[in-house]
């Protein structure tokens, strides 16, 4: 329950610890650093925190990043634990907004703020867990998921629009603000010295003077500054959009060998919604996403007939291992749709084919249920003629290693001497792809070709956009490991 405390009771306009304890009906002593307007600030976002918990550790981290930024925008970097605002003010809304004086900070002040931010973020997490309970369930990670996420989420954030008075300060600080600030700051320093108190921080007074100066400007002048800011922001947005920044949802659907040939979806996503609790598509609109997933399953059931589904069954005794069986599902959030599962049944309409029903025109014999023993299902498939090649998914002889077990030779793709000349995004992509360095040599060859192509594209973008261009790794390099891990035939 939010606690609305009267922010009065001290001579300097703040709220004393003694007054807070008396207002809350408690004895004097140590209090929580979150009280008064700060308690209202955090409690009003409890619903967003709970929603982030359901999304996993990534969303929780985003929540803590954003709320820490909003807190510092409202309360500043010098608010003591026992202090509070004399009067509550509207909460800021843009977590990406920069500090008004960010361009003029000394290295010492920048380091101090960075330390305050990190400590604040930790304390906020502790407070939410203490008051609302429950830790964050650790997501099950695997090599492929880490590699794909690193490649798909390396885009540059959308340019944030600073507050208008901050833009005004950037343009006109020297002529319209500086003299007023220096005079007021000098007066406050002298007053603090006379009273034997610590001198005030420049940051808060500079912001106060700048906002006052902006409020006193003529309306015509304000209109000119506002129009200039909007024009500049739109140019930044266009440059960002030219960087190929887009939401990505990659979905693969087909028979899964270790599930008796049942059709399932595997997917990975990049791009989140806005706000203090950014969510990916499948969390932002779960019903809509599940409908799309089920539609893809129904389509794939028409694509792969009964014999094709049976042909893809992997025998439990054949020695072939399906990565999905060990938990390496290729979708962030571990979402999948499978015919016959309770979730699939719940959302499947009457007009859609029932799980396991053969396509029209096929034999009425339905594929065996996924729950049966896969070895028995494999035995139901007629053996190939003596002179025909073995099926694609049959196991190799015991004395020869499978392709996946064969050690990959050292490849030039993993030893590059020109990485210092690459843009940051390309270096991060290379690090992500190198997680598959022990895969067969075909993977290294694709990476090598990608680097040759992408380096030329980067040079062209740098010339056209003057360094503002941003590219993602080729989608080919996202599809290739998906197909490889799912035992799909790949034709490039």
Average pLDDT over residues 20-45: 74
pLDDT per position as a tens digit, 78-120 = 988 888 888 888 888 888 887 877 777 788 888 899 899 999 9
Question: What is the per-residue pLDDT for 421?
Answer: 66
Per-residue pLDDT band at 479 (split at 50, 70, 90): low
**Same domain flag for 362 and 236:** no
pLDDT per position as a tens digit, 60-78 = 888 999 999 999 999 999 9
Backbone angles phi, psi at 268, to 5 degrees: -140, 150
Average pLDDT over residues 284-292: 90
**Same domain flag for 222 and 261:** no
**Same domain flag for 180 and 216:** yes
Does the residue 492 lie in any domain?
no
**Same domain flag for 228 and 260:** no
User: Which residues, at least 6 apart from 242, have a Cβ–Cβ distance to it below 8 Å?
Assistant: 465, 468, 469
Structure tokens at 487: 């035992």
Give strand pairing partners of 265. Answer: 253
- CA–CA separation, 294 and 299 (whole Å): 9
Per-residue pLDDT band at 473 (split at 50, 70, 90): very low
Per cent of the chain over pLDDT 70 is 58
pLDDT per position as a tens digit, 183-209 = 999 999 999 899 988 888 888 888 889
Per-residue pLDDT band at 273 (split at 50, 70, 90): confident
Question: What is the per-residue pLDDT for 18?
Answer: 56
**Same domain flag for 129 and 217:** no
Nearest to 458 by CA among 416, 427, 415: 427
Per-residue pLDDT band at 428 (split at 50, 70, 90): confident
Provide the whole-model pTM.
Answer: 0.32
Per-residue pLDDT band at 156 (split at 50, 70, 90): low
Mean pLDDT score across all residues of the chain = 69
Per-residue pLDDT band at 168 (split at 50, 70, 90): very high
Please, what is the Cα angle at 190 between 189 and 195, to 5 degrees? 100
Question: What is the per-residue pLDDT for 67?
Answer: 92
| Number of domains, the chain | 4
**Same domain flag for 294 and 379:** yes
**Among candidate residues 95, 119, 136, the one where a domain is terminated:** 136
| pLDDT surpasses 70 at 256 | yes
Question: What is the per-residue pLDDT for 425?
Answer: 67
| pLDDT surpasses 80 at 366 | no
| pLDDT surpasses 90 at 448 | no
Question: What is the per-residue pLDDT for 209?
Answer: 92
Does the residue 119 lie in any domain?
yes
End-to-end CA distance of the chain: 59
**Among candidate residues 395, 429, 460, the one where a domain is terminated:** 395
Does the residue 154 lie in any domain?
no
Full residue range of the structural domain in which residue 170 is found: 164-241
**Same domain flag for 196 and 219:** yes
**Same domain flag for 306 and 420:** no
**Same domain flag for 301 and 373:** yes
- CA–CA separation, 148 and 436 (whole Å): 11
Does the residue 218 lie in any domain?
yes
pLDDT per position as a tens digit, 320-348 = 433 333 333 334 333 444 333 333 333 33
- CA–CA separation, 4 and 85 (whole Å): 12
């Amino acid at each position: 329950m939010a606690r609305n405390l009267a922010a009065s009771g001290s001579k300097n306009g703040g709220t004393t610890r003694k007054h807070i304890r008396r207002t809350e009906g408690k004895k004097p002593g140590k209090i929580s650093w979150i009280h008064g307007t700060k308690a209202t600030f955090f409690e009003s976002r409890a619903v967003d925190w709970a929603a982030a918990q359901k999304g996993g550790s990534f969303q929780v981290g985003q929540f803590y990043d954003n709320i820490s930024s909003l807190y510092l925008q409202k309360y500043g970097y010098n608010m003591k634990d026992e202090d509070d605002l004399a009067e509550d003010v509207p909460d800021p809304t843009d977590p990406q907004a920069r500090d008004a004086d960010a361009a003029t900070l000394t290295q010492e002040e920048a380091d101090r703020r960075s330390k305050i931010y990190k400590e604040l973020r930790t304390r906020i997490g502790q407070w939410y867990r203490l008051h609302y309970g429950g830790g964050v369930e650790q997501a099950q990670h695997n090599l492929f998921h880490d590699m794909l996420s690193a490649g798909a989420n390396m885009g540059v954030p959308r340019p944030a629009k600073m507050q208008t008075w901050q833009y005004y300060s950037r343009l006109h600080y020297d002529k319209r603000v500086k003299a007023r600030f220096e005079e007021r700051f000098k007066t406050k320093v002298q007053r603090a010295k006379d009273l034997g108190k610590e001198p005030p921080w420049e940051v808060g007074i500079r912001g106060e003077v700048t906002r006052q100066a902006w409020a006193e400007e003529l309306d015509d002048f304000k209109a000119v500054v506002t129009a200039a800011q909007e024009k500049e922001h739109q140019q930044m947005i266009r440059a960002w959009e030219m960087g190929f920044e887009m939401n990505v949802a990659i979905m693969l659907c087909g028979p899964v060998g270790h599930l008796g040939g049942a059709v399932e979806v595997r997917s990975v996503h990049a791009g989140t919604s806005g706000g203090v609790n950014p969510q990916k598509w499948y969390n932002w609109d779960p019903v809509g996403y599940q409908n799309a997933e089920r539609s893809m399953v129904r389509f794939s059931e028409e694509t792969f007939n009964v014999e094709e589904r049976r042909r893809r069954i992997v025998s439990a005794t054949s020695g072939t291992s399906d990565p999905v069986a060990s938990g390496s599902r290729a979708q962030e959030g571990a979402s999948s749709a499978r015919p016959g599962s309770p979730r699939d049944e719940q959302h499947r309409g009457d007009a859609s084919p029932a799980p396991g029903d053969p396509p029209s025109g096929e034999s009425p014999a339905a594929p065996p249920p996924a729950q049966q023993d896969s070895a028995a299902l494999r035995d139901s498939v007629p053996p190939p003629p003596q002179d025909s090649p073995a099926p694609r998914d049959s196991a190799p002889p015991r004395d020869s290693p499978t392709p996946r077990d064969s050690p990959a030779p050292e490849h030039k793709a993993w030893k590059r001497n020109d990485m210092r000349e690459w843009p940051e995004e390309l270096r991060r992509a290379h690090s992500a792809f190198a997680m598959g360095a022990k895969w067969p040599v075909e993977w290294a060859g694709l990476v090598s070709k990608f680097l040759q192509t992408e380096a030329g594209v980067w040079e062209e973008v740098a010339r056209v956009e003057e360094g503002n261009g941003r590219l993602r790794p080729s989608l080919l390099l996202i599809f290739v490991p998906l197909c490889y891990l799912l035992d799909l035939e790949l034709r490039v």
